Amino acid sequence: MTKQNTPRDRALAFRALHVPGRPLVLANVWDAMSARVVEEAGAAAVATTSAGLAWALGAADGDRLDRDRALAALARITGVVGVPVTADIESGYAEDAAGVADTVRAVLAAGAVGVNIEDALYVEGAGPLRPVAEQAERIAAAREAADAAGVPLFVNARVDTFLRGAGDVDLTLERAAAYRAAGADGIFVPGAVDPGIVKVLADGVEAPLNILAGPGAPPVAELAALGAARVSTGSSLAAAAHALVRRAARELLDAGTYGALADGLAYGELNALLTPER
């Protein structure tokens, strides 16, 4: 693996991968080994999944993982890959905009050059989405922190209107415009996979559009034709890996057989992925 020389180089390389009609495809990872496997498969960049990372660290998803553990895991990931890394930082691992800025500085120190920041709320009794002005303030803080560090961090603003059943296309576009004005570089709308809706969003969002894909979603080629600039899998890869663990464990415990283990990667191949080059 050959890492771009500076954080700025990596950030610019990552930014250039977002092309409507020729999207950046991200198989989201959760630890160093999954990152190396995805990089070895030919990925142009590596993205983390906050859910998968939280699960690997013994926490539930949804703003329950503390920043220090999340950023330590991120540093392990950036340390083993040569391609740019973008980090899913949930809602910023912080209570307020100043805390989000602190998180972004820590993300840069950990070696990542992009972030996802979501506008969903996980506070009991609160609405499903953070007030748009408050979220815009958090995005602006992230932008300012990165700019002050001299790194053109790619800020991917997640709009959870569809994922949380909290709005329609018009509200999504309103939030997207506010986040763009605050300094977001891209807009991520998980839950929007209907081709007609994807097309309206791609045409209406004045920024690279990120679609969350997985089983049941249109294939990447169709999303590309609709104007998507980024297609990611979120927690799906981690969920599929854990499903294999459960199938294999149940087969072993119930039947005493090993069929589910037959297609595993070889020990030597995996070990080589994390063996330093000499």
**Which structural domains are found in the chain, ordered by start?**
7-235 (3.20.20.60)
SS (H, E, C) the chain: CCCCCCHHHHHHHHHHCCCCCCCEEECCECCHHHHHHHHHCCCCCEEECHHHHHHHCCCCCCCCCCHHHHHHHHHHHHCCCCCCEEEECCCCCCCCHHHHHHHHHHHHHHCCCEEEEECECCCCCCCCECCHHHHHHHHHHHHHHHHHCCCCCEEEEECCCCCCCCCCHHHHHHHHHHHHHHCCCEEECCCCCCHHHHHHHHHHCCCCEEEECCCCCCCHHHHHHCCCCEEECCCHHHHHHHHHHHHHHHHHHHCCCCHHHCCCCCHHHHHHHCCCCC
Cα separation of 144 and 154, whole Å?
A: 12
Residue with tokens 């890394």: 85
For residue 180 the two structure tokens come to 């763009």
CB of 100 closer than 8 Å to CB of 74: no
CA dist., res. 116 & res. 154, Å (int): 9
pLDDT of residue 249: 98
* Per-residue pLDDT, 278: 44
Q: How many residues does the chain have?
A: 278
Residues paired with residue 212 on neighbouring β-strands, in sequence order: 232
- The arrangement of strands across the sheet holding 85-88 comes to 24-26, 230-232, 209-212, 186-188, 154-158, 114-118, 85-88, 46-47
Note the pLDDT of residue 53.
98
Of 194, 278, 270, 232, the closest CA to residue 48 belongs to: 232
Residue type (1 letter), 198: V
Which residues of the chain fall below pLDDT 70? 1-4, 124-126, 278
The CA distance from 104 to 110, in Å, is 10
Q: pLDDT by residue (tens digit) across 30-46?
A: 999 999 999 999 999 99
How far the first Cα of the chain sits from its last, in Å, is 12
What distance in Å separates the CA atoms of residue 52 and residue 266, rounded to the nearest whole number? 23
Amino acid at 164: R
Cross-strand pairs, 49: none
* Token pair for 174: 């309103």
The 10s digit of each residue's pLDDT in 40-96 is: 999 999 999 999 999 999 999 999 999 999 999 999 999 999 999 999 999 999 999
Q: Which among 15, 59, 43 is positioned nearest to 237, based on CA atoms? A: 43
